[in-house]
Amino acid sequence: MAARISMKNPIAEIDGDEMTRVLWALIKEKLLLPFVDLKTEYFDLGLPNRDATNDEITVESAGAIQRLGVGVKCATITSNTARQSEYNLKNLHPSPNATIRAILDGTVFRRPITVSNVTPSVSTWKKPIVIGRHAYGDVYKAAEMIIPGKGKVELVYTDEQGKETRKTVADMKGPGIVQGIHNLDESIRSFARACFLYAIDEKLPVWFATKDTISKIYDGRFKEIFGEVYETEFKSKCEAAGISYFYTLIDDAVARVVKGEGGFLWACKNYDGDVMSDMVASAAGSLAMMTSVLVSPSGAVEYEAAHGTVQQHYYRWKKGEKTSTNPAALIFAWTGALAKRAELDDTPDLGAFAKKLEAAALQTIEEGTMTGDLARLAVPAAKQTLDSWAFIDAIAEKL
Ligand code: NAP
Ligand code: MG
């Protein structure tokens, strides 16, 4: 066997739960370890170990991503009362992704993995559309009130010296509702930085859209800060990378997205990102073909699959069934992390390996060999629908 590719620096490897944990081990055994002398710092975020460590392992893993600059994460169970009895947990722990995101202060980017035999429902889309979602504030941190009857609703800001500034929201003519939302300059700035860092990395033009014609101050501030960050910090870097920054109104953006051919990063305000990422994901094909990257303003990155632990497949696997669970997004989480490591360490062999593994996975699918979720969508019809084990063997063979 040829010598394995060596790594200069480790990546933070974050293991998880259920079917994705089973696939994680299989991907390492069949697709990574035979070719790469894998260097990782391993964190077991499987629910039993999070419980045993009172969730300290999650905090440690986030610190490792920050320190090493690159992490790869398996899907993890977010515990609830059903999981508490299933796993006999001492406590309910917060979502690991929320914990890690809070520590890294990150922005989440979701990108579909496209193959020629699964066509998007939007026929003009030729290249993937990546969504970058601002994950702080707006309606997700709102104060809301039911207004029982006639009266005045005001916004009141009290500064640290106690001085008040007021503005009338409405002179209510009868019962109704009111909502107060906010955002922070610094959070918007971090969001813009994360978007430009990601876009330069992936050589994607950046689109950003708000409704600043109507919301002149609130959305206007988003537009202004995004533009400032571009002009002062990223303009020359974007030009060097050959990518552009385009601002438009959100309704214009939606019309252009549906008529366009894709191939850009769509930076979205929190609510727009929530809605539009589900639209883009379902129009592009399957949840099992969507990757997710968390990018921190410091430049640290964490790669994962967008899907969960595929719980129902896991129960069937435990009963002895070889399920046809699609490992594509997990494989791409690994290749994303290895390629990033290669770039930071200047180890082109490792980068080339990541590209080859991706190509092997895509070719296997495009030649008609796939898992059940894709076989349901493929045109022309799948030649072979395999279980995860045989599918991963087919990719290894191609690789
Ligand atoms: P899920 O694991 O994403 O699965 C939902 C359904 O989508 C599956 O039942 C399956 O449909 C299909 N699917 C998802 N990934 C697939 C794959 N790789 N191959 C084939 N089919 C796939 O979501 P869930 O069942 O709602 O959540 C299960 C657990 O995951 C929960 O405990 C949740 O907390 C956790 N979760 C974790 C993350 C994360 O760590 N990033 C994200 C979301 C959810 P069929 O059954 O029709 O085959
Ligand atoms: Mg949503």
CA of 277 to the centre of ligand 2 (A): 7
DSSP lists the bridge partners of residue 70 as 301
CA of 310 to the centre of ligand 1 (A): 4
Residue list, CB under 5 A from ion ligand 2: 274
CA of 220 to the centre of ligand 1 (A): 38
CA of 257 to the centre of ligand 2 (A): 19
Ligand 1: residues with CB < 6 A are: 75-78, 97, 287-288, 304, 307-312, 325-326, 373
Residue tagged 């009141």 (tokens)? 156
What ligand is nearest to the CA atom of residue 131?
2
Write out the two tokens for 298.
Answer: 């410091």
- Closest residue by Cα to atom 4, ligand 1, is 310
To test the pocket of ligand 1, the residue of 86, 282, 309 to mutate (highest count of ligand atoms within 8 Å of its CB) is 309
Nearest ligand 1 atom, CA 304: 41
Average pLDDT over residues 120-132: 90
3-state secondary structure the chain: CCCCEECCCCEEEEECCHHHHHHHHHHHHHHHCCCEECCEEEEECCHHHHHHCCCHHHHHHHHHHHHHCEEEECCCCCCCHHHHHHHCCCCCCCCHHHHHHHHHCCEEEEEECCECCECCCCCCCCCCEEEEECCCCHHHHCEEEEECCCEEEEEEEECCCCCEEEEEEEEECCCEEEEECCCCHHHHHHHHHHHHHHHHHHCCCEEEEECCCCCCCHHHHHHHHHHHHHHHHHHHHHHHHCCCEEEEEHHHHHHHHHHCCCCEEEEECHHHHHHHHHHHHHHHCCHHHEEEEEECCCCCEEEEECCCCCHHHHHHHHCCCCCCCCCHHHHHHHHHHHHHHHHHHCCHHHHHHHHHHHHHHHHHHHCCEECHHHHCCCCCCCCEECCHHHHHHHHHHHC
Dump pLDDT digits (tens) for 228-242: 999 999 999 999 999
For residue 295, what pLDDT is reported? 86
CA of 313 to the centre of ligand 1 (A): 9
Average pLDDT over residues 19-39: 98
CA of 30 to the centre of ligand 2 (A): 34
Nearest ligand 1 atom, CA 20: 18
CA of 296 to the centre of ligand 2 (A): 21
Average pLDDT, the chain: 94
Q: Is the pLDDT of residue 135 over 90?
A: no
- Closest residue by Cα to atom 23, ligand 1, is 308
What ligand is nearest to the CA atom of residue 108?
1
Write out the two tokens for 180.
Answer: 């107060």
- Closest residue by Cα to atom 26, ligand 1, is 308
Dump pLDDT digits (tens) for 258-301: 999 999 999 999 899 888 987 888 787 777 898 989 988 788 99
Backbone φ and ψ for 115, nearest 5 degrees, come out as -130, 150
Q: Is the pLDDT of residue 2 over 80?
A: no
For residues 79 and 84, give the distance between their C-alpha atoms in angstroms, rounded to a whole number.
Answer: 7
- Closest residue by Cα to atom 33, ligand 1, is 77
Q: Is the pLDDT of residue 16 over 60?
A: yes
Dump pLDDT digits (tens) for 171-222: 999 999 999 999 999 999 999 999 998 999 889 999 999 999 999 999 999 9
Average pLDDT over residues 23-40: 98
Residue tagged 């045989």 (tokens)? 390
To test the pocket of ligand 1, the residue of 307, 317, 330 to mutate (highest count of ligand atoms within 8 Å of its CB) is 307
Q: Is the pLDDT of residue 341 over 60?
A: yes
